[in-house]
Structure 1
């Protein structure tokens, strides 16, 4: 009969250490994340000049009505966020998947290629915007030099022209997003059981059929994560457009409108808070979906 191992009880010191390890991060999260969030939600129902707290006045839903009905940049910003989502989902994410599949073929120098494609992910979006400004400059940019239009009247002002700057910014965002997706899918491909591929090959499936009917469905958890990440990335897009022109002249995004109303001379705290709350609610949808699917699956398995 196997001997039962004696369970070691936690000492008082262990309990104190564990309590501190839980309490300190929780306190930091409450102070720097949830408290400002709740205050922003509260201010979205108020009018305030940002000075004395005694100047706060209730406004009900007036800020939300103003945003939806009388704030000109709001609906263009919503359209641009939707466009951002569609572009990342249709162009950037499949590109990252393609890179992952190619690099999973054990080609020579695959580690070097992985590092090259992953470098943009390690850069901040603000720095990515600065780098692409050098590429897109009208008179001295690399792209116009390649097109042979640099320093000529026909040179395209890629970031200054409101008809094309959103597309130029999307290409810059894709450069970074595709590398992130590539890394996640590479991890997913490494985790697929080789026996599934062998069984599909024995059944006569070609490489394309094996991937789309066996490998890709087997990466379902990774697919859900990438869908959520893509949605969140499209909503939190801010750095690139703010570096370019502070989110104006064709680059309006909801996140940029929040900063425009919360910072600067023309600040409107209530409107900015209402925009931030709208962005928060929209962002919670994919997060709740992901958590529901994840914990729901675990509950069924248990």
Structure 2
């Protein structure tokens, strides 16, 4: 009888895992890390935070840019009646003057609000529409994309010069097309206070549409194609597939577009400056222009101009902060 005894081999010994040796930073590595982190931090502090904090502090002073700023209360001793000493702490009088007696403040706030509404309800939807059309891969989409993005590549000053030639009262392109370039029936698009704001908004929207289009186009390229295929299989038409499936996935892009829209609408300066050739024009009052006129203008009321800059900063931070808080709170829940 043959023996069927099976010899069992012992299980192989488990080799102990080698502990990964933690590489310690050498002195050279620490110097490199300090430079990579320190240089951007210093630049950020020097060009963003220090000027911002300095602007807030100067907004409580009465300073014309000549002489040093003394942190002392303004008084009228030794000066003309009712005129405080220059370079002293002025309290909230700059803000009180801006809200009550400065004639360009409320028109500038109204025009900035109109600028923001046009960007939100016209430029952003049109830019998103162009992005959706180009994302479908139509023939010549690269050419259309380049043409629509071309205004973004141009400087705002150059855009202002181009549109100034289009809006020229005599021999301008627009007046020539509609037959109003004569001396008797010509339309002064940029000189008329009832038309110039809307004319400049056309220039700004022309550029903003291309900017928004690129942002949404990048977001659409990142959407999973399987989501659209699943929506189509469930019987959704292209409109329903976009609004019910694709658009909710674009929430991060919507946040970016909103922030960019608010910033671009409130910092609008170049187009208005080129249109007025550096001088204020009735119907084109903006907060950015008021800040510039008071800080680097003939009056050089740096304290008062700084208070207008702080107001502009607060107005821009409020909607962005509220929207970001709501968006991130929804993500957490």
CA distance in 2, matches of 1:240, 1:102: 29
- 1:78 — aligned with what? 109
Higher share in helix: 1
Asked whether the 8 Å contact 2:262–2:320 carries over to 1, the reply is no
Asked whether the 8 Å contact 1:262–1:269 carries over to 2, the reply is yes
What is the aligned-residue RMSD (CA, Å)?
1.8
> What is the CA distance between 1:297 and its match in structure 2?
7.0
- 1:20 — aligned with what? 35
CA distance in 2, matches of 1:289, 1:20: 35
CA distance in 2, matches of 1:182, 1:130: 24
Q: How many residues align?
A: 300
Write the deviation string for residues 76-132 of structure 1: whole angstroms up to 9, x where unpaired.
000000000111111111110111011111112211211111111112212211111
Write the deviation string for residues 151-209 of structure 1: whole angstroms up to 9, x where unpaired.
33211111111100000000000111000000000011111111111111111111111
Structure 1 residue ranges without an equivalent (≥5): none
- 1:51 — aligned with what? 66
Asked whether the 8 Å contact 2:60–2:303 carries over to 1, the reply is yes
3-state DSSP of counterpart to 1:53: coil
- 2:290 — aligned with what? 257
CA distance in 1, matches of 2:155, 2:18: 55
1:203 aligns with 2:234: yes
CA distance in 2, matches of 1:40, 1:155: 44
Asked whether the 8 Å contact 2:197–2:283 carries over to 1, the reply is yes
CA distance in 1, matches of 2:113, 2:131: 26
- 2:254 — aligned with what? 223
1:40 aligns with 2:55: yes
Structure 2 residue ranges without an equivalent (≥5): 1-14, 70-85
- 1:66 — aligned with what? 97
1:177 aligns with 2:192: no
The change in CA–CA distance for 1:90 and 1:272 in structure 2 (over 3 A counts) is same
Asked whether the 8 Å contact 1:225–1:290 carries over to 2, the reply is no
Alignment of 1:1-302 (within 5 A): 4-53=19-68, 55-245=86-276, 246=278, 247-289=280-322, 292=325, 300=332
> What is the CA distance between 1:232 and its match in structure 2?
1.3
